[in-house]
């Protein structure tokens, strides 16, 4: 596992319930600001193995980016269960819910 992957997994593990982070934000904090797609890959391939709270990661616009209907609704419901208000078209207010670990 690369150092970037290890760091990204650690960051994702620490996103608190009721907060979200963006793919790009995680990539930047993990040391590679242009690697948002790598974060997507990590979430897709390692969420189960590493028990990652994948539902707390959204795109730069604060939108649920998953295209699959079942996973989209699972993410929506998981966020709302943690108190995150998901608006029309799966948009989350990043000013209110984005977590900044620094």
- Helix-, strand-, coil-residue percentages of the chain, each rounded to 5: 55, 10, 35
pLDDT tens-digit map of 38-93: 999 999 999 999 999 999 999 999 999 988 899 999 999 999 999 999 998 899 99
| Phi, psi values for residue 45, rounded to 5° | -95, -15
- DSSP 8-state code for residue 31: T
Of the candidate CATH numbers 1.10.760.10, 1.10.10.10, 1.10.3720.10, 3.30.565.10, the domain formed by 3-97 belongs to 1.10.10.10
Residue 102: is its pLDDT beyond 90?
Answer: no
């Amino acid at each position: 596992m690369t150092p970037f992957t290890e760091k990204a997994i650690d960051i994702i593990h620490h996103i608190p319930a009721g907060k979200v982070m963006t793919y790009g934000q995680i990539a930047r904090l993990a040391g590679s600001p242009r690697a948002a797609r790598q974060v997507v890959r990590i979430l897709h391939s390692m969420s189960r193995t590493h028990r990652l709270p994948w539902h707390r990661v959204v795109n730069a616009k604060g939108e649920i980016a998953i295209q699959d209907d079942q996973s989209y609704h699972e993410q929506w419901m998981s966020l709302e269960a943690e108190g995150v208000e998901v608006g029309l078209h799966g948009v989350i207010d990043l000013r209110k819910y984005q977590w900044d670990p620094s």
